[in-house]
């Protein structure tokens, strides 16, 4: 029996992930596909509140390793809900950032790539990942709110981009360039990638 698809939207800061996940949810609803959004970090959980403090308060220091493990623990807080949605509730799950962000941001600080992936081993792999990509990292630095949070610095974003590119060979990975494109154009490109998955997936879930 088919199960619902797990869909991830990834990308650097301010590339339009939250804007596009909300557009995607509307498309799924119009297509009569049950759906839910899970955003990482989920700042509402106990661990998420600590992450929020870390991201917004530059005086609040954590070691890079402990910050990394908190982001991963925040995903494990939602593990059972994700699995149940896909299998028992036939509900498509759209992820606004996921394991790929977790690895890319921490590896960009100099932590070992495989060490960064290890705490997420066992989390379900998306059936499809959309990566909102920039040819020029400065293209989004003028967008509203850019620079408010800890990682929104162009030089650091270039390092993160380099780490994200290590995932590009994954079979489920789709790059979509966003430089100079309007919200609706990106929305149409995303929908053309996602539409083939919406009636369900026959394969068992893969794990990291
Ligand atoms: N992080 C995250 C880790 O280090 N480890 C982890 O494990 C995880 C999960 C917060 C930080 O945490 C790090 C990565 C981040 O640095 P977050 O909460 O996802 O992660 O960050 P947010 O601030 O919510 O999101 P972003 O800054 O990444 O922005 P989005 O969601 O990509 O962009 P969005 O949709 O909010 O749009 C930004 C602005 O651009 C406009 C929008 O209207 C908005 O004003 N916009 C466009 N403008 C022109 N053209 C377009 N096509 C546009 N699309 C959107
Ligand atoms: Na966002």
Residue 84 alpha carbon to ligand 2 centre in Å: 24
Calpha distance 147→144 (Å, rounded): 9
* Token representation of residue 15: 């590339």
pLDDT at 146: 86
Element (H, E) at 205: none
- Spatial contact of 98 and 179, defined as CB atoms under 8 Å apart: no
- By C-alpha distance, which of 191, 27, 10, 34 is closest to 102? 10
Q: Cα angle vertex 5, ends 104, 27, to 5°?
A: 95
> What number of CA atoms fall less than 13 Å from residue 77's CA on the CB side?
18
| Edge-to-edge strand ranges of the sheet holding 6-11 | 35-39, 92-96, 6-11, 128-133, 173-177
pLDDT in tens, the chain (208 residues): 689 999 999 999 999 999 999 999 999 999 999 999 999 999 999 999 999 999 999 999 999 999 999 999 999 999 999 999 999 999 999 999 999 999 999 999 999 999 999 999 999 999 999 999 988 878 888 888 888 888 888 999 999 999 999 999 998 999 999 999 999 999 999 999 999 999 999 999 999 9
Q: By alpha-carbon position, which residue is closest to atom 6 of ligand 1? A: 102
Residue 107 alpha carbon to ligand 1 centre in Å: 19
* Pocket-testing residue among 10, 17, 42, ligand 1, by greatest number of atoms within 8 A of Cβ: 17
- By C-alpha distance, which of 123, 128, 97, 131 is closest to 200? 128
Pocket of ligand 1 contains residue 133 by CB under 6 Å? no
Q: ipTM exceeding 0.85?
A: yes
Pocket of ligand 1 contains residue 54 by CB under 6 Å? no
Domain spanning 6-197, CATH class: alpha beta
- Spatial contact of 4 and 34, defined as CB atoms under 8 Å apart: yes
pLDDT at 171: 85
Give strand pairing partners of 130.
9, 174
């Amino acid at each position: 029996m088919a199960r619902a698809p797990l869909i991830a939207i990834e990308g650097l800061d301010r590339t339009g992930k939250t804007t596009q996940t909300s557009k995607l949810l509307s498309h799924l609803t119009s297509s009569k596909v049950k759906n839910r959004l899970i955003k990482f970090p989920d700042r509402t959980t106990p661990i998420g509140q600590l992450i929020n403090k870390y991201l917004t308060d530059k005086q609040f220091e954590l070691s890079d390793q402990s910050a990394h493990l908190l982001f991963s623990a925040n995903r494990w807080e939602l593990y059972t809900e994700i699995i149940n949605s896909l299998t028992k509730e036939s509900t498509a799950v759209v992820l606004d950032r996921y394991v790929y962000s977790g690895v890319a941001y921490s590896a960009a600080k100099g932590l070992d790539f495989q060490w960064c992936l290890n705490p997420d081993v066992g989390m379900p792999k998306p059936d499809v990942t959309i990566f909102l990509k920039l040819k020029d990292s400065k293209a989004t630095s003028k967008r509203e709110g850019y620079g408010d949070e800890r990682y929104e610095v162009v030089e650091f974003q270039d390092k993160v981009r380099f780490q994200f590119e290590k995932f590009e060979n994954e079979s489920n990975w789709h790059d979509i360039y966003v430089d100079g494109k309007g919200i609706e154009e990106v929305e149409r490109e995303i929908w053309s990638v996602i539409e083939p998955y919406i009636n369900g997936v026959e394969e068992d879930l893969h794990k990291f």
